[in-house]
């Protein structure tokens, strides 16, 4: 499941890059269109609101002839009867652009996807490096098992991960620390109960107990292929 999770994060980055490139391309096309386009006014005649793609219809008159067309975007400030500025191709008045706003929306969506995916990947690398550092320090405490938390805020292929929650009291300063494991893509509750597990080894930084890694090797099933 970890490979699937990484694949999902990588795809988020790739999709983000693609949308940003499309947004840049659309902005360039709009800028090129504007070089010879004629500025004109149009009236919004109808708005079809949809969850995925709302449509805005406008009408305008060029040289005594009325044209009806659709815009390439919708904003909450639009309403039927509103006058807006459009730009049309003097050689083909049916060819219009209202603004480069659509390109910014596409680019913005791509940027959000890219930053989210890159942030998740960076956080994963950071956690991996921290884990390796803590294991090399070899300072282990045994934290009491508290519960299993189902993290429904994250979904991969329709599944949400579980986290093991443990509690450890530093007898030196009497501070209680609550530790959470990495994502586990199955419910470990039954395994913990069947094995009678009451504590989990936790690698911590003795200089900063907030840096930790919970070892869950005792609940991970090991399969040996004898064929």
What span, in angstroms and rounded, lies between the C-alpha atoms of 71 and 105? 14
Question: What's the confidence (pLDDT) of residue 13?
Answer: 86
Taking only the tens place, the pLDDT of each residue in 163-181 is 999 999 988 788 999 999 9
What span, in angstroms and rounded, lies between the C-alpha atoms of 219 and 169? 23
Which fold, 2-106? OB fold (Dihydrolipoamide Acetyltransferase, E2P) (2.40.50)
170 close to 181: Cβ distance less than 8 angstroms: no
203 close to 140: Cβ distance less than 8 angstroms: yes
Q: pTM value?
A: 0.54
State yes or no: pLDDT of 7 exceeds 80.
no
| Measured CA distances, 190 to 29, 158, 194 (Å) | 59, 22, 6
Taking only the tens place, the pLDDT of each residue in 71-119 is 877 888 889 999 998 999 999 999 988 766 677 778 888 899 888 888 8
């Amino acid at each position: 499941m970890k490979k699937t999770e990484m694949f999902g994060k990588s795809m988020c980055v790739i999709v983000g890059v693609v949308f940003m490139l499309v947004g840049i391309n659309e902005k360039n096309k709009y800028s090129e269109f504007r070089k010879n386009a004629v500025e004109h006014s149009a009236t919004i005649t109808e708005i079809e609101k949809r969850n995925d793609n709302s449509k805005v219809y406008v009408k305008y008159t060029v040289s005594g002839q009325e044209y009806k067309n659709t815009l390439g975007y919708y904003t909450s400030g639009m309403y039927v009867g509103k006058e807006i500025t459009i730009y049309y191709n003097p050689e083909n008045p049916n060819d219009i652009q209202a603004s480069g706003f659509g390109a910014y929306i596409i680019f913005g969506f791509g940027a959000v996807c890219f930053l989210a995916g890159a942030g998740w990947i960076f956080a994963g690398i950071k956690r991996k490096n921290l884990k390796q550092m803590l294991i090399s320090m070899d300072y282990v405490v045994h934290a009491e098992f508290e519960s299993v938390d189902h993290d429904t805020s994250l979904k991969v292929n329709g599944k949400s991960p579980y986290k093991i929650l443990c509690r450890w009291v530093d007898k030196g300063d009497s501070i209680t620390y609550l530790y959470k494991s990495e994502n586990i893509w199955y419910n470990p509750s039954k395994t913990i109960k069947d094995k009678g597990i009451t504590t989990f080894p936790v690698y911590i930084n003795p200089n900063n107990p907030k840096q930790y890694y919970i070892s869950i090797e005792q609940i991970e099933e090991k399969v040996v292929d004898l064929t």
